Amino acid sequence: MNINPWRSTSVRTALEGRSFIDIKRIHIHSLQEASEFLACYGFDVEDSTDVKELESLRLEAIELIEDELLQPSENIPVVLKNQKDVRQYLLIASDHTDINLASWSGALLRVIHTLTHSHSYLNDIYHDPIREQIFKGFDGHMHNKEGNKYLGDIKLVNFEFRTAKSRRSVAMKLMHKAENVAADIFDWIGIRFITEYRSDVIDVLAYLREQHIVTYANIKPSRSRNSLIDMDWLNGCLNKGMSVEQIRSEMQFKEFPSDDTENTEHNQFSEVSYHSVQITCRQRIKIPQPNGKNLCFYFPFEIQMMDDKSYQKTRDGLASHSEYKNRQRSAVRERVLPFLLKAKNQH
């Protein structure tokens, strides 16, 4: 054994519950050891298909770093861009003779690792039938009337069905998560309802339940987030015997609730001025197989609801999607390329 197991970075990472991409140093000291590492990871360097996939991932990682994380004056060393054997990245990252190359190799490995997890097998193979089955539940309930959009008889400003996430978008999202594997992506499929008033969001939730469009038993509690409706205030109003119409009238001007993240998976890049109700549901999907049987599994999808006033805030300012992406990009850059930040602070 080349290293003291009690000082092994990998062992300590497992014991401390940290992510692989936060490891500052790895210990791979021969091509044989690098091959064994990749084999354990799932890539056989003797398999031409695996080698081709590794090269595709390597090029994709370079492109992501250059497009998303580097400033104009920063460049990945040419010697690494031209190095097509990922095993060499492992060796260079383990040998700190040239700290600059070791740091850049580590960065490339972090992104390659994340890209390998930036997909869902079920989503990749069955994306279209999954979306069709999930959206089918909404058929007949979403309609236009006299130029207006409706869910049942609830007037909407708009509703949106999210297009498929790109692998780069998933990778960027995973690189700011401690557990950067695709099992943590719950919004491959998403639906957004934009209502006229905040109180209408409650009507939307009730309609989805009453019409059995969403099975509330399959909601993932830790993924539920409400930064739109103050439930303490609402319960107080109901206990006082206020009418629904009184509550509706006052709710639109009520202060937003504080974002209690103790029991939810909080998105650290959402601005405090971003207000919505979000739930993650799971639906049982059935995919017919050649043998006549069905492949059955549960698949998550996200429903987001907000009133028009809150929605308009997401289009400008700190709560906008572009600002969200900027905050995310800065955090990913700091995590993947910490040595650049350190070098900048030293000057």
pLDDT one-digit tens code per residue, 174-183: 887 766 665 6
Cα-only R_g, the chain: 24
The pLDDT assigned to 27 comes to 83
Pair 269, 292 in one domain: yes
Clarify whether residues 247 and 193 are in a common domain. Answer: yes
Confidence of residue 332 (pLDDT cuts 50, 70, 90): very high
Q: Given 71, 93, 116, which residue is the final one in a domain? A: 116
Count of domains in the chain?
Answer: 2
pLDDT of residue 98: 92
What pLDDT shows up at residue 174? Answer: 87
Q: Who's near 166: CB < 8 A, 6+ residues apart? A: none
What is the end-to-end Cα distance of the chain in Å, rounded? 40
| Inside any domain, residue 343 | no
Given strand 225-226, what is the order of strands in its sheet?
Answer: 142-145, 148-151, 154-161, 190-195, 294-307, 277-288, 225-226
User: Within this chain, do residues 68 and 127 fall inside the same structural domain, yes or no?
Assistant: no
Q: Each residue of 198-224: pLDDT tens digit?
A: 999 999 999 999 999 998 899 999 889
Same domain, 305 and 215: yes
Q: Are residues 43 and 133 in the same domain?
A: no
Residue 300 belongs to a domain: yes
Q: pLDDT > 70: what percent of the chain?
A: 84
Residue type, 215: T
Q: For residue 283, which amino acid is it?
A: Q
Instruction: Report pLDDT digits (tens) over 114-135.
Output: 999 888 888 889 999 999 999 9
Mean pLDDT of all residues in 317-345: 80
Given a contact cutoff of 8 angstroms between Cβ atoms, the answer to whether 254 and 297 are in contact is no
- Tell me the pLDDT band of 271, cut-offs 50, 70 and 90: very low
Q: 339 lies in a domain?
A: no
CA distance linking residue 90 with residue 102, whole number of Å? 9
Residue range of the domain that includes 150 = 121-333
Answer yes or no: do 129 and 42 share one domain: no
Q: Structure tokens of 128?
A: 């279209």
d(CA 79, CA 74): 15
| Residues ≥6 apart with Cβ < 8 Å to 222 | 263, 264, 265
Within-domain flag for 338: no
Examine the fold and report which residue of 116, 132, 161 is the final residue of a domain before the chain moves on. Answer: 116
Q: Output the average pLDDT for the chain.
A: 87
Q: Among residues 72, 94, 116, which one ends one of the domains?
A: 116
Residues 266 and 163 occupy one common structural domain: yes
Give yes or no: residues 176 and 306 share one domain.
yes
Asked if residue 347 belongs to a domain, the reply is no
The reply to whether the predicted model has a pTM over 0.75 is yes
Q: Are residues 41 and 135 in the same domain?
A: no
Q: Is residue 160 part of a domain?
A: yes
Residues 88 and 221 in one domain: no
Q: How far is CA 223 from CA 44, 117, 128, 274, 293, in A?
A: 37, 21, 24, 16, 32
pLDDT digits (tens, 9 = 90+) for 161-201: 876 778 888 899 888 776 666 567 788 899 999 999 999 99
Which residue did the predictor score with more confidence, 5 or 25? 25
Look at residues 165, 161, 152, 192 and name the one whose alpha carbon lies nearest to residue 277: 192
Encode pLDDT of 278-324 as tens digits: 999 999 999 999 999 999 999 999 999 999 999 988 776 555 677 87
Are both 199 and 308 inside the same structural domain?
yes
Given a cut of 50, whether residue 1 has pLDDT beyond it is no
Q: How high is the pLDDT of residue 3?
A: 52
- Whether 59 maps to a domain, the answer reads yes
Same domain, 88 and 176: no
Flag whether 139 is in a domain.
yes
